[in-house]
Amino acid sequence: MKQGKRMRKNNIDKNEIRNGVQTGNEQVNQSKNIKKKKKAKKRLLILLAIILLLFIAYLANDFIIFDNNDKTNLVINNNNVTSALKNDVLVENDTIYVSKDDIKNFFDKYIYIDEENNKIVTTYDKKVATIGFEDKKININGSNKKIYAHAENKDGKIYLPISEMKEVYGIDIDYIKDTNVIVIDSVAREQKKAMISKDAAVKSSTGFISKTVDRVQKNDYAVVVSKTDNGWTKIRTKTGKIGYVKNDVLVNEVTVRENMEDEKQIDGKVNLVWDFFSQYAKAPNRSGEEIDGVNVVSPSFFYINGKGEFKENVGETGKNYIKWAHDNGYKVWPMVSNSFEENMIETTSNIMNSFEKRQELIEKIVDVCVEYKLDGINIDFENMKKADKDMFSRFIIELTPRIKEIGLVVSVDVTAPDGGETWSLCFDRNVIGHVADYIIFMAYDQTSVGSKKAGTTAGYNWVEINLKKFLVTEEIDSNKIILAVPFYTRLWTEKSDGDLSSNTVNMKGIDEVLPNDVDKKWLDDVKQNYVEYEEKGNTKKMWIEDLDSIKEKASLINKYNLGGIAEWEKDKEDPDVWKVIKDALK
Span 337-351, pLDDT tens digits: 998 777 899 999 999
- Per-residue pLDDT, 8: 47
Q: How far is the C-alpha of 257 from the C-alpha of 307, rounded, in Å? A: 49
Span 418-435, pLDDT tens digits: 889 999 999 999 999 999
In the chain, domain spans: 73-175, 190-257, 270-487+546-585
Contact residues for 90 (Cβ-Cβ < 8 A; gap 6+): 72, 96, 97, 154, 159
Low-confidence winner among 95-109, 206-220, 433-447, 568-582 (lowest mean pLDDT): 206-220
Q: At residue 301, does pLDDT exceed 50?
A: yes
Distance of CA 132 to the CA centre of its chain: 29
Q: How far is the C-alpha of 330 from the C-alpha of 298, rounded, in Å? A: 10
Sheet holding 521-523, edge to edge: 500-506, 488-494, 538-544, 528-535, 521-523
- Per-residue pLDDT, 61: 47
DSSP reduced 3-state for 148: coil
pLDDT band at 83 (very low <50, low <70, confident <90, very high): very high
Low-confidence winner among 17-31, 105-119, 423-437, 561-575 (lowest mean pLDDT): 17-31
Angle between helix 355-371 and helix 389-405 axes, rounded to 10 deg? 40
Q: At residue 400, does pLDDT exceed 80?
A: yes
Average per-residue pLDDT for the chain: 91
User: Across 45-49, 328-332, 447-451, which has the greatest mean pLDDT?
Assistant: 328-332
Percentage of the chain exceeding pLDDT 70: 90
- Per-residue pLDDT, 1: 45
Q: What topology does CATH give the domain 73-175?
A: Copper Amine Oxidase; Chain A, domain 1 (3.30.457)
Q: How many CA atoms lie within 13 A of 142 on its CB side?
A: 16
Radius of gyration over every alpha carbon of the chain, rounded to an integer in angstroms: 38
Q: At residue 18, does pLDDT exceed 60?
A: no
pLDDT band at 17 (very low <50, low <70, confident <90, very high): very low
Section 463-470 average pLDDT:
98
Q: At residue 442, does pLDDT exceed 90?
A: yes
Q: At residue 21, does pLDDT exceed 60?
A: no
Find the angle CA(187)-CA(190)-CA(195) to the nearest 5 degrees.
110
Asked whether the beta carbons of 264 and 300 are under 8 A apart, the reply is: no
pLDDT band at 64 (very low <50, low <70, confident <90, very high): very low
Section 16-34 average pLDDT:
55
- Per-residue pLDDT, 488: 98
Span 502-517, pLDDT tens digits: 999 999 999 999 999 9
Residue 211 backbone phi and psi in degrees, to 5: -75, 155
Residue 306 backbone phi and psi in degrees, to 5: -65, -20
- Per-residue pLDDT, 25: 54
Q: At residue 215, does pLDDT exceed 90?
A: yes
CATH of 190-257 among 3.50.50.60, 2.30.30.40, 1.10.10.10, 2.40.50.140: 2.30.30.40
CATH 3.20.20.80 holds for 270-487+546-585: yes
**Does the predicted TM-score (pTM) go above 0.85?**
yes
Largest separation between any pair of C-alpha atoms in the chain: 153
- Per-residue pLDDT, 207: 85
Q: How far is the C-alpha of 545 from the C-alpha of 567, rounded, in Å? A: 12
Residue 251 backbone phi and psi in degrees, to 5: -140, 165
